Amino acid sequence: MSLAAALPAIEHRPRHTGARLFAHAMLARMYVRIVGSLREPTWMIADAIFPNLGMCAFVLLYRALGAPRSYEALALIGGVLTTYWINVLWGMGAQLYFEKMQGQLALYFAAPCSRLAILSGMALGGLVATLLRSLVGVAIGLWVFHVQVAPFSPWVLAGVFVLTMVALYALGMTLSSLFLLYGREAWHTANALQEPVYFLSGLYFPVRTLGALGATAAGVLPLTLGTDALRQVLLGPAAQGLLPLGQECLALAGFGVLFLFLAGRAMAYLEALAKREGRLTQRWQ
C-alpha cells in the first residue's frame, strides 16, 4: 500500500456551509435515486410498465362500455399520477425506515448537512426518476390507445404539474418521519394508505361521482386536487372538475407550504427523539 502517497497533498479548501452545503447534499442524494432508476433494467420494467397496467385496464373498460372518450383521458391522467403516488409512499414515506434498517440513518444524523437536504434530494430524485416512468404511461395512452386530450397551454400544464408535485413530495417528506415513528409498522402503514388513496383521489373516475360529501372529503388530499387540476387543464369542461382550477392551484400551493413546514418539524422532532431515547438509530428497535 502506497502510504507515502496518502492524503495531505490534496489541497484542503474550506467546506461548503449553509445553502451550498444544502444544495450539494441534496444533489448527492438525488443522484442515488436517478442512478437507481436507470441502472437496474428489471426495476425499469416493474416501475414503468406494471403501474400502467391498471390505467390500460380502465381505458379498455371505458371503451368496452362505450363511455365518452374523455373518460379514457381521465384514466390516463390518473394512471400517470399513480406512479407518483407509489413513489411518494414507498420511495419517500417508507424510505427513512429502510435507511434505519440499513444502519444508514445514524450516518445521516451525524453528517453536517441538513436532514431536509437529504429528504429534498430523495424527493427530487424520485420525481425525476418517476417522470421518466410516467412518460411511458403517457406514451402508452397517446400512441397505443390514441387517447384524446383538448387543446391546452403547456405553461399552465407545467405550472399545475409543479404545484402538484411539490404538494405530493412535501407530503412524502412529512410521511417519511411519521412512518419512522411507527417502526416495523411502516410496511403496513404504506400498504394501508395505498388503495384508499387510489379510491378517494378518483384516479380512474371523476371525483365528483363520490357525491358532494365524498368529493369534499377527498379534496383534502393533494393527490385528488392535483389529479383534478391536471384533468381540467388537459380536458377542459369534460374533466368534470371538483373546484375551479384557480382554487385548486391555490390549495395545492398551500398544501406544499404546509407539508414542507411539517416535514421540517417532524424531522426535528424525530431527531430529538432519537437523541433522547437512543433507539431510532438502532437497526433492531
Partner 1 sequence: MGHSPAAVPAVETRDLKRVFKGSRGSPEVVALAGVDLRIERGEVFGLLGPNGAGKTTAIKILNTLLYPTSGEARVAGHDVVREAAEVRRRIALVSGGESSGYGILNVRECLWMFSQFYGVPRAEADARVDRLIETLGLKDLAKTRINRLSTGQRQRMNFARGFVSDPEILFLDEPTLGMDVNAARELREFVLTWVRESPGRTVLLTTHYMAEADMMCDRIAIIDRGRTLACDAPSALRRAVEGGQHVELEVLGVPEGLADVDGIAVTWGAPHPERGTHTMKLRLADGGQLPLVLRALDARGVSVRGVSTRETSLEDAFIAIVGRGLDDSEAPR
Residue numbers at the binding site for partner 1 (CB under 8 A) = 1-3, 5-17, 20-21, 24-25, 27-29, 31-32, 35-36, 39-40, 102-104, 106-113, 118, 274-278, 281
- Which of 16/69 has CB closer to partner 1? 16
Cell of 73: 383521458
Shortest distance in whole angstroms from residue 88 CB to partner 1: 19
Q: Is 67 helix (H, G, I), strand (E, B) or coil?
A: coil
For residue 143, which of 59, 213, 220, 209 has the smallest C-alpha distance? 59
Shortest distance in whole angstroms from residue 180 CB to partner 1: 15
Shortest distance in whole angstroms from residue 41 CB to partner 1: 12
- Which of 39/66 has CB closer to partner 1? 39
Shortest distance in whole angstroms from residue 49 CB to partner 1: 20
CA neighbours closer than 13 Å in the CB half-sphere of residue 261 = 6
Which residues have a Cβ under 8 Å from the Cβ of 92 and sit 6 or more positions away?
A: 119, 122, 123, 126, 169, 172, 173, 175, 176
DSSP strands (E only) in the chain: none
- Which of 20/184 has CB closer to partner 1? 20
Shortest distance in whole angstroms from residue 131 CB to partner 1: 18
- Which of 24/63 has CB closer to partner 1? 24
Cα–Cα dist 217/159, whole Å: 25
- Which of 46/158 has CB closer to partner 1? 46
- Which of 176/281 has CB closer to partner 1? 281
Shortest distance in whole angstroms from residue 124 CB to partner 1: 14
